[in-house]
């Protein structure tokens, strides 16, 4: 049985270029999960933090 491809390889491919569709899907998932967390806890702080981390991660990937 072949070993599964590492997550970074699936997103960046063999050349290191990020797959925009996968990055966008991941970002939308972060926003949706953060919104759900904010709704259930009646506090937007976790949402702000999660989105800030996701944006910072995208900035780091763009370097």
User: Is the predicted pLDDT of residue 45 greater than 70, yes or no?
Assistant: yes
Looking at residue 42, what is its pLDDT? 95
Average pLDDT over residues 30-59: 94
Per-residue pLDDT tens over the stretch 2-23? 555 556 555 555 556 778 888 8
SS3 59: helix
The whole-model pTM stands at 0.66
60's tokens: 């780091």
Question: What are the residue ranges of helices labelled H in the chain?
Answer: 7-12, 20-41, 45-61
């Amino acid at each position: 049985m072949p070993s599964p491809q590492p997550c970074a390889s699936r997103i960046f491919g063999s050349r290191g270029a990020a797959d925009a569709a996968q990055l966008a899907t991941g970002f939308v998932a972060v926003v949706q999960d953060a919104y759900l967390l904010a709704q259930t806890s009646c506090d937007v702080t976790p949402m702000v933090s999660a989105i800030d981390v996701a944006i910072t991660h995208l900035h780091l990937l763009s370097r």
